[in-house]
Amino acid sequence: MYYAKQNADAGLSLASDITKASNIQEILALQTKFAQKQMQSYALQTQELGLLMIDAGRNAAATVKSGEA
């Protein structure tokens, strides 16, 4: 949910900035900056989710292992 809100807020911010742009060059610059920032954000989010999945897998394995003893 946090990532969805973060990404939606970024999109709304872009829309707001675009409404203030005075020409097509500004709009293209805003879109380019947004795309670059979002790619970085998506990469970080993917990394964080991967670490959470690894942690969940380790916890599940520990739970199964403790149940076998």
Average pLDDT over residues 31-54: 96
User: Is the per-residue pLDDT at 69 higher than 70?
Assistant: no
Average pLDDT over residues 33-55: 96
- Identify the H or E element spanning 10: helix 2-20
Tell me how crowded residue 44 is: count the other CB atoms within 10 A of its CB: 11
Distance in angstroms (rounded) separating the CA atoms of residues 23 and 41: 27
Q: Check: CB of residue 9 under 8 Å from CB of residue 37.
A: no
* Amino acid found at 34: F
Distance in angstroms (rounded) separating the CA atoms of residues 41 and 49: 12
